Chain A
Amino acid sequence: MSETATKKTQISRVAMPEQEPKVRARNFLEVPTGYTVKMAQEEASRCLQCKKPGCVAGCPVGVDIPGFIDLIAQGDMTGAIRNLWSKNALPAVCGRVCPQESQCEGKCIVGKKGEPVAIGNLERFCADYERENGTGELPPKAPPTGKKIAVVGSGPSGLTVAGDLIVKGHEVTIFEAFHKAGGVLVYGIPEFRLPKAIVAQEVNFLERLGVKIQVNAVVGRTVSLDELSAEGFDAIYVGVGAGLPKFMNIPGENYVGILSANEYLTRANLMKAYKYPEVDTPIPLGKNVVVLGAGNVAMDSARTAMRLGAESVKIVYRRSRDEMPARQAEIHHAEEEGIELFLLTNPTRYIGNENGRLTGMECLRMELGEPDASGRRRPVPVKGSEFEIACDLCIVAVGSGANPLLTSETPDMKLNRWGNVVADEKTGKTTKKAVWAGGDIVTGAATVILAMGAGRQAADSIHEYLTLGW
């Protein structure tokens, strides 16, 4: 390592300022407050500008990370955001919600000896800086090709496909079943992690590029895939996500006070029920809240319940801390905000009163046994360890599957045994002619950035099909 490089690795990572845990646990404002220009430039100066950057290989959409960071270091913020846009139409989102520790930052060479360069924070900084200070100038577009593409679903993968194809000169229309575009970015991820004004602005960026967005269009009900083809769409991309909530299938599940995380978060985020009665959608307020599951959706639900004034919020999970699928940073944030973890605990039934309202649940202690098919140690119940947890609200965040609304109306598109669409791993091509699919409807519930990566590959394949044919 050269002398300058050694010096650089000695500068410590610039921490992102955050709201104090006690304060933020009771408001819906964003937790990290963002870098100043000075902080961003200091952090950018830690990048070693590797010739063969591992970080780029770690990014599912292949952002030119050293390139945009170098532009920040030079103070060229306009250049930096243009560099980002060339690979990623949603940098304000990705900078906030990507699991950087297992992607770009996980591959950063500086991270081998100290802390990796804060790539996510810098990406977020660029997008926020452009939003607040930018000229509104748009990236260039290729001349019109006359080809029309329908994108079904406006979540991360659909937005990526739309962004990629519009700049290549195609006409793009997004069909969204909800009354607002953004998919999980608007109904799932809470305001305190991803402000909805920012999602709206990134969606608006695509609209300014020429993408048409038709909301309230339930493909499979309002219109079918075949009707879209008949209407003159040359290609269709299906990115409808994994929007079918899973429940535990234990007795008492339909008591009042038990909600899927999808319902709870949709009420809170999309319908803005956290502002009730200022808005019309109510949300149940629990005093003692239990969240089942330990993924990011569980953390989001627990932290939302805390912000809505709960006295106690418990995460109940059947495995141990090491197996929790949520990001470390999210678990850390949740614990800082006073959320308790009940690990190696599994509910066996819900308890309710004569009005059908939830009053508690019976649980069993678990211990870890032999590894199962997933390679994780299988939780085994401890005999006779039954105990009760009192609670008046339970949010079930144990995963979600493929929603059959669209696929059941499309019998000529092949599905696997879980109801996910079968699509080519490299191109996203489905078994139905001129139809591509990607994101959670293909992989099952995964991450925002993986869905975007799938969208990127499909967009390339669609472009090839439209320009060269099959």
Chain B
Amino acid sequence: MFKIVRREEMSQGTVILNEIEAPLIARKAKPGQFVILKANEDGERIPLTMAETDAAKGTITIIYMVVGKSTALFKDLQVGDGYQDVIGPLGKATHLEKVGKVVCVGGGTGVAVLHPITRGLKEIGNEVVCIIGSRNKGLLIMEEHMKAASHDLRICTDDGSYGHHGFVTDVLKDVLKEGDIKLVVAIGPVPMMKAVSNITREYNVETMVSLNPIMVDGTGMCGGCRVTVGGETKFACVDGPEFDGHKVDYDELMLRLRAYQEDERKSHQHYCTIRDAR
């Protein structure tokens, strides 16, 4: 069992942080890599990118939004409980390089994944502008962390309850207009990454995104996570999860993410009904 040693509720209880004992993974993990987790014997395998790792303590940290049956099940796990299976580190690590001025754009729980990359980019000497957004002030996560990890933090909310009133893409355009941006990293919901990529393409600025397709094994043996990048089929679990944002077929990814929508809805509903009856 992989024990939960710390648990936090963020974003009004819709986003959960779990710090998990997994010394073998913590020893090897690098920013950008993910793990596959399975709560119990009958559970499914869910991929989540690590937000933090602590090799000395032997722990890894995941932050996830409660969206369906499995994440609802994960949410019910308390400190001292654990996951039956945690597998990793999987995927390629982020390629970190000193290029000059970079912009890191995060939306929703994507901010958790963006954090170690942002910090890494700053540590090796880049000038880092960071733009994070959420629907409203209460749903924003990791503001303090992101502030520390960047030189310039800009915040947006869809309803204007905090920071800029509008989308991260509005602010991104302003930053790009200032010029001299060498790299944009965007992590968040697929429509957001697509919108960011469309803007940066106009400005001809290299853009990296982290994709989140459906996965089963996470080791390249099934192809469930295949995505089209530059006209070629890639397996996100081994070739990614990070890709050139200008080459990704986002529409296909969004359609593929909906493959099990109906099953997911029923399964979540069923779980909540049973849990609430208890």
Contacts and interface: CB of A to CB of B under 8 A. Distances in A.
Contact of A256 (B73, B84, B255, B270): B255
Q: Most A CB atoms within 10 A — which of B24, B69, B270?
A: B24
The B interface is mostly helix, strand or loop, or mixed, namely mixed
A465 to B, nearest CB: 28
B60 to A, nearest CB: 12
Given A282-B264, A282-B267, A405-B220, A254 B228 contact: yes
Contact of A271 (B25, B45, B264): B45
B233 A282 contact: no
Contact of A278 (B42, B69, B238): B42
B69 A260 contact: no
Nearest to B24: A222
Interface stretch (B6-14, B87-95, B193-201): B87-95
A440 B193 CA distance: 40
Contacts, number: 116
A259 B252 contact: no
A280 interface: yes
A467 interface: no
A254 B267 contact: no
Interface in A204-218: 215-218
B223 A262 contact: yes
Interface string B261-276: 0011011001000000
A138 interface: no
A284 interface: yes
A221 B85 contact: no
A289 to B, nearest CB: 16
Nearest to A267: B216
A218 B221 contact: no
A281 interface: yes
Contact of B256 (A218, A245, A254, A284): A254
A16 interface: no
Contacts of A355: 255, 258
25 contacts: A177-B217, A178-B217, A179-B87, A216-B85, A222-B24, A222-B28, A222-B89, A243-B219, A244-B221, A245-B221, A245-B223, A249-B233, A254-B228, A256-B255, A256-B259, A257-B259, A266-B217, A271-B45, A272-B42, A278-B42, A279-B43, A280-B69, A282-B44, A282-B260, A282-B267
Given A215-B85, A218-B87, A223-B24, 20 more contacts: A177-B219, A179-B87, A216-B86, A216-B87, A221-B89, A243-B219, A244-B220, A244-B221, A245-B223, A254-B226, A256-B255, A257-B259, A271-B45, A272-B42, A276-B263, A280-B42, A280-B44, A281-B216, A282-B267, A404-B238
